């Protein structure tokens, strides 16, 4: 089999959303050598143990259990909390959030978003609670924390579990605490397209010792010890090579966030005076990772629709993405299984027509950002 040469890969001038960052490459190579020499590739080896310890210390959380990806992390969390019936989840999210529930036999009840935050609107929670509701799954979209206080208050009032899909929110702080410390548990994704990645991977963070114990069992087929299975389980383990990548990325975490922030500020400066183009803002009170450059295009104030702009950028080799179009409620199997939910989320529908995500991360230079913004400015001028 002929592999693509290094020259071919580097000559691809396309700018992508989600181009992987690489942390400390020398460290990664050394750790990889250790893995090969030790012949210990998975099943809670030294790399995963070290990665877990690093995550717990950084997040100041009692447990942060590495898993093979964020989606399986959400499934394991749902099983470990013994969720059933219905779970309230935003329709504006990556489809993995409702898929993880549906896969576990739980019906996702789609809740609308607050247009000013893109996160689920807590004022809409109570009208969606039924006797079948077992939990609320909040999603920290773009790494901007949900209104965790309101969500938890309502969950406590109705005796519901709360967990958060924190796939976008590694490295973010909210009300003085790191994301990872809210609800019954929070689930991170360390997928290649996330600014902090382990190729594929994720982690479940919790301060609940009993829940952590169950999660540890469940991600390893329910094994308590050799030959001793005491629980339903799956294969949710992170491999050693993935944990090594996590350690190498962690070594450069501050730099990765600094680059995201620099890029965000550059986009902000270039886009701020263009009518109809609005870059999302990150709160000064919370600490952000700035990993998503999400802009809203208001076609009434601009000369162009979101889709026209996206295709214009694609023509110039800039692979902008319209995450999370058209909204989970309009994707299968949900639109067929739950047609009555399709008209319940008007703010999500409106946002899905407006949002465009632009490239950022270590591979995107400030001059590339200037070029992207120039195209946007030219295209949107009335
Ligand atoms: N919850 C939320 C809110 C999420 O956003 C996600 C994942 C999850 C849960 C689930 O977590 P995981 O189970 O994935 O750990 C991508 C990612 O695959 C997905 O992980 C991510 N969210 C989502 C927002 O984005 P796609 O469909 O956009 O992937 P794809 O293949 O089109 O890649 C995006 C871009 O990245 C492409 O333009 C090319 C570039 N890319 C991608 C990969 C994999 C690279 O340059 N190199 C690469 O290795 O979903």
Give tens-digit pLDDT for 33-65. Answer: 999 999 999 999 999 999 999 999 999 999 999
Any atom of ligand 1 within 6 Å of the Cβ of 197? no
What residue's CA is closest to ligand 1, atom 33? 18
Any atom of ligand 1 within 6 Å of the Cβ of 363? no
Pocket test for ligand 1, best of 94, 102, 140, 201 (most atoms within 8 A of CB): 94
Using the mean position of ligand 1's atoms as its centre, give its distance from the Cα of residue 258 in Å. 22
CB 152 within 8 A of CB 145: no
Q: Which atom of ligand 1 is nearest to the CA of 69?
A: 15
Mean pLDDT for the stretch of residues 94-115: 98
Using the mean position of ligand 1's atoms as its centre, give its distance from the Cα of residue 213 in Å. 29
Mean pLDDT for the stretch of residues 298-322: 95
Any atom of ligand 1 within 6 Å of the Cβ of 94? yes
The first and second tokens of residue 128, run together, are 């969606």
CB 97 within 8 A of CB 165: yes
Q: Shortest CA distance to 244 belongs to which of 33, 47, 17? A: 47
Res 1: pLDDT: 57
Using the mean position of ligand 1's atoms as its centre, give its distance from the Cα of residue 71 in Å. 11
Q: Which atom of ligand 1 is nearest to the CA of 202?
A: 15
pLDDT in tens, 253-286: 999 999 999 999 999 999 999 999 999 999 888 8
3-state SS of the chain is CCCCCHHHHHCCCCEECCCCCCCCHHHHHHHHHHHHHHCCCCCCCHHHHHHHHHHHHHHCCCEEEEECCHHHHHHHHHHHCCCCCEEEEECCCCCHHHHHHHHCCCEEEEECECCCCCCECHHHCHHHCCCCEEEEEEECHHHCCCCHHHHHHHHHHCCCEEEEECCCCCCCEECCEECCCCCCEEEEECCCCCCCCCCCCEEEEECCHHHHHHHHHHCECCEEECCEECCCCCECCCCHHHHHHHHHHHCCHHHHHHHHHHHHHHHHHHHCCCCCEEECCCCCCCECCCCCEEEEECCCCCCCCHHHHHHHHHHCCEECECCCCCCHHHCCCHHHHCHHHCCCCHHHHHHHCCEEEECCCCCCCHHHHHHHHHHHHHHHCC
What residue's CA is closest to ligand 1, atom 3? 94
Q: Which atom of ligand 1 is nearest to the CA of 200?
A: 15
Percentage of the chain lying above the pLDDT 90 cut: 93
Q: Is 345 left (phi over 0), alpha (psi -120 to 50) or beta?
A: beta
Asked if residue 333 has a cis previous peptide bond (ω within 30° of 0), the answer is yes
The 10 Å Cβ neighbour count of residue 311 is 12
The whole-angstrom separation of Cα 329 and Cα 306 is 20
Tokens 């739980």 map to which residue?
A: 106
Q: Which atom of ligand 1 is nearest to the CA of 71?
A: 13
Pairing of strands 318-319, 185-189: unpaired
The 10 Å Cβ neighbour count of residue 326 is 14
Angle between the N-to-C axes of helices 96-103 and 70-80, in degrees from 0 to 180, rounded to the nearest 10: 40
CB 245 within 8 A of CB 198: yes
Res 9: pLDDT: 47
Any atom of ligand 1 within 6 Å of the Cβ of 35? no
Any atom of ligand 1 within 6 Å of the Cβ of 16? yes
Using the mean position of ligand 1's atoms as its centre, give its distance from the Cα of residue 347 in Å. 24
Mean pLDDT for the stretch of residues 284-305: 93
pLDDT for 10 beyond 50:
no
Any atom of ligand 1 within 6 Å of the Cβ of 52? no
Model's pTM, two decimal places?
0.96
The whole-angstrom separation of Cα 66 and Cα 152 is 25
Q: Shortest CA distance to 92 belongs to which of 128, 146, 133? A: 146
Mean pLDDT for the stretch of residues 190-207: 98
**b/e sequence 62-91, b meaning 16+ C-beta within 10 Å:** ebbbbbbbbbbbbbbbbbbbebeebbbbbb
Any atom of ligand 1 within 6 Å of the Cβ of 167? yes
Any atom of ligand 1 within 6 Å of the Cβ of 236? no
The whole-angstrom separation of Cα 5 and Cα 20 is 18
Using the mean position of ligand 1's atoms as its centre, give its distance from the Cα of residue 97 in Å. 13
Using the mean position of ligand 1's atoms as its centre, give its distance from the Cα of residue 142 in Å. 13
What residue's CA is closest to ligand 1, atom 22? 94
What residue's CA is closest to ligand 1, atom 16? 193
pLDDT in tens, 362-380: 999 999 999 999 999 999 8
Q: Any residues with CB less than 8 A from the CB of 18 and at least 6 apart, and which? A: 192, 193, 321, 361
Res 12: pLDDT: 67
The first and second tokens of residue 266, run together, are 């550059």
Res 4: pLDDT: 52
The whole-angstrom separation of Cα 108 and Cα 334 is 9
pLDDT in tens, 327-357: 999 999 999 999 999 999 999 999 999 999 9
Any atom of ligand 1 within 6 Å of the Cβ of 305? no
Pocket test for ligand 1, best of 13, 18, 179 (most atoms within 8 A of CB): 18
pLDDT for 122 beyond 60:
yes
Q: Which atom of ligand 1 is nearest to the CA of 73?
A: 13
Q: Any residues with CB less than 8 A from the CB of 126 and at least 6 apart, and which? A: 154, 158
Mean pLDDT for the stretch of residues 197-209: 98
Mean pLDDT for the stretch of residues 23-33: 98
pLDDT for 169 beyond 80:
yes
Average pLDDT, the chain: 95
């Amino acid at each position: 089999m002929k592999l693509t040469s290094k020259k071919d890969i580097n000559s691809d001038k396309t700018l992508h959303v989600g181009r992987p960052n690489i942390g400390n490459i020398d460290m990664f190579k050394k750790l990889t050598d250790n893995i090969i020499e030790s012949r210990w590739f998975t099943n809670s080896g030294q790399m995963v143990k070290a990665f877990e310890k690093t995550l717990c210390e950084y997040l100041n959380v009692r447990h942060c259990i590495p898993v093979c990806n964020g989606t399986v992390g959400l499934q394991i969390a749902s099983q470990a909390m013994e969720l059933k019936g219905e779970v309230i989840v935003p329709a504006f999210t990556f489809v993995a959030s409702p898929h993880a529930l549906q896969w576990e036999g739980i019906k996702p009840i789609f809740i609308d978003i607050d247009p000013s935050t893109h996160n689920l609107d807590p004022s809409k929670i109570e009208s969606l609670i039924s006797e079948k509701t077992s939990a609320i799954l909040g999603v920290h979209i773009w790494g901007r924390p949900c209104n965790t206080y309101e969500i938890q208050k309502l969950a406590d009032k109705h005796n519901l579990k709360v967990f958060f899909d924190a796939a976008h929110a590694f490295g973010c702080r909210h009300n003085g605490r790191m994301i990872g410390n809210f609800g019954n548990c929070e689930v991170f994704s360390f997928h290649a397209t996330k600014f902090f990645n382990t190729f594929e991977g994720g982690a479940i963070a919790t301060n609940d010792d009993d829940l952590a114990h169950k999660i540890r069992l469940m991600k390893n087929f329910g094994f308590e010890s050799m030959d001793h299975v005491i629980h339903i389980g799956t294969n949710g383990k992170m491999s050693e090579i993935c944990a090594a990548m996590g350690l190498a990325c962690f070594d450069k975490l501050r730099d990765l966030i600094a680059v995201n922030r620099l890029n965000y500020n550059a986009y902000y400066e270039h886009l701020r005076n263009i009518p109809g183009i609005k870059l999302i803002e990150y709160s000064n009170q919370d600490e952000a990772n700035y990993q998503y450059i999400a802009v809203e295009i208001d076609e009434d104030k601009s000369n162009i629709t979101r889709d026209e702009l996206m295709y214009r950028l694609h023509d110039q080799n800039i692979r902008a993405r319209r995450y999370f179009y058209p909204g989970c409620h309009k994707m299968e199997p949900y639109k067929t299984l739950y047609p009555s939910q399709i008209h319940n989320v008007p703010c999500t529908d409106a946002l899905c027509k407006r949002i465009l995500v632009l490239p950022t991360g270590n591979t995107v230079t400030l001059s590339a950002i200037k070029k992207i913004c120039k195209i946007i400015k030219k295209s949107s001028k009335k």
